[in-house]
Amino acid sequence: MKMTKKVLAAATAALTVTAALAGCTGGTSSNNSTAASATQADAGKVYNVGICQLIQHEALDAATKGFKDTLTEKLGADKVKFDEQNAQGDSANCATICNQFVSSNYDLILGNGTAALQAAYTATPTIPVLGTSITDYGTALDMAEWTGVSGMNVSGTTDLAPLDKQADMLKELFPDAKTVGILYCSAEANSKYQSDTITPFFESAGYTVKTYSFADSNDVAAVTKTACDESDVLYVPTDNTAASNTGIIDNTASASKTPIIAGEEGICKGCGVATLSISYYELGQKTGEMAYDILVNGADITSLKVESAPSVTKKYVKSRCDAYGITVPSDYEAIEE
Q: Could you read off the pLDDT of 56-95 as tens digits, one per residue?
A: 999 999 999 999 999 999 999 999 999 999 999 999 999 9
Does residue 33 surpass a pLDDT of 80? no
Q: What percentage of the chain carries pLDDT values higher than 70?
A: 87
Bridge partners (DSSP) listed for residue 183: 212
Strands 154-158, 313-316: pairing is unpaired
**pLDDT tens across 153-170, in order?**
999 999 988 999 999 999
The candidate with the shortest Cα–Cα distance to 113, out of 131, 125, 127, is: 131
Residue 305: count of CB within 10 angstroms of its CB? 11
Q: Which range, of 16-25, 235-244, 285-294, averages the lowest pLDDT?
A: 16-25
Instruction: With beta carbons less than 8 A apart as the criterion, state whether 167 and 200 touch.
Output: no
Across residues 43-65, what is the average pLDDT?
Answer: 94
* Distance from the Cα of residue 283 to its chain's centroid: 6
Cα–Cα distance between 135 and 193 in angstroms, integer?
8
What's the CA angle centered on 192, arms 186 and 193, to 5 degrees? 160
Does residue 130 surpass a pLDDT of 80? yes
Q: What percentage of the chain carries pLDDT values higher than 90?
A: 84
**pLDDT tens across 194-212, in order?**
999 999 999 999 999 999 9
The per-residue pLDDT for 89 is: 92
The candidate with the shortest Cα–Cα distance to 130, out of 151, 108, 148, is: 108
The candidate with the shortest Cα–Cα distance to 131, out of 159, 93, 95, is: 159
The per-residue pLDDT for 42 is: 64
State the DSSP H helix or E strand holding residue 138, giving kind and residue range, or none if neither: helix 137-140
The per-residue pLDDT for 8 is: 36
Cα–Cα distance between 258 and 15 in angstroms, integer?
92
Task: For residue 222, give the 3-state DSSP assignment.
Answer: helix
Work out the widest C-alpha separation in the chain, in whole angstroms.
113
Does residue 6 surpass a pLDDT of 80? no
Does residue 142 surpass a pLDDT of 90? yes
14 vs 139, which has greater pLDDT? 139
**pLDDT tens across 282-336, in order?**
999 999 999 999 999 999 999 999 999 888 999 999 999 999 999 999 999 999 8
Cα–Cα distance between 247 and 125 in angstroms, integer?
39
190 vs 85, which has greater pLDDT? 85
The candidate with the shortest Cα–Cα distance to 169, out of 331, 336, 279, is: 331
Question: 151: phi > 0 → left, psi -120 to 50 → alpha, else beta; which?
Answer: left
Task: Give CA separation, 101 vs 50, 127, 220, 239, 247, in Å.
Answer: 6, 10, 33, 26, 34
